[in-house]
Copies of this chain bind each other. A is one copy, B any other.
């Protein structure tokens, strides 16, 4: 395996598969049931391919090329990530989750497994994603947000949350089991959402109520422009071809 930069203290199973130019930091352990794509970086003190607790999870962990997994993160076996995965520190991701390209997961976030996640999704720090959540493309989830799944805890009935494209859920909000957050919707900070949220609307409060259309929220920069849809003005870190497509779509 030439071109690897593996720190001598890292513990790498001989059965895992590392792509070209993969870097692995000190005190990190990579288990057997793992494939990591070309040009990826796994920082120090990580644990990659931790044994799953369910039989369904006993599949290979596949991390696509160009990943950056920051230090102290833990990934279970049995999940799959497209190219460009990028994490903060101390992330936990359990088995049976499938995510698309350019997925970002903030420091301390915890994905409980059995989730479907689209392309260009961004989780900020310390979000908690319950099992059976479905998150579409270009969604934003902010710190201390929880997606729940059990309507009467504890029970064996799991009703995952669905979050549609471009929706944003602001900090410290709870989305209750089975709720769908519509395309382009905004959940205000510190809300508790029991009912479906219509596309391009803002809900706030506990229990969350309709506040206004998202288009009514003005950018706080004196321009008079709307703050939503956010993809009109916020492009940091997205690939140019995606931004061009967004702007073309919004013109029509």
Interface on A for B, CB 8 Å cutoff?
9, 11, 26-27, 29, 44-45, 47, 50, 71-72, 74, 88-90, 92, 107-108, 110, 112, 122, 125-126, 128, 140, 142-144, 146, 148, 151-157, 159, 168, 170-172, 174, 176, 186, 189-190, 192, 205-206, 217, 219-221, 227-228, 230, 233-234, 236
Contact = CB atoms under 8 A, between A and B. Distances in A.
B170 A172 contact: no
A155 B228 CA distance: 10
A32 to B, nearest CB: 15
Copies of this chain in its oligomeric complex:
3
Nearest to A226: B152
Contacts of A45: 27, 45, 47, 72
A194 to B, nearest CB: 9
B143 A143 contact: no
11 contacts: A9-B9, A47-B72, A140-B153, A140-B154, A144-B144, A148-B171, A151-B227, A152-B228, A155-B233, A156-B233, A156-B234
Contacts of A140: 153-154
Contact of A146 (B107, B144, B228): B144
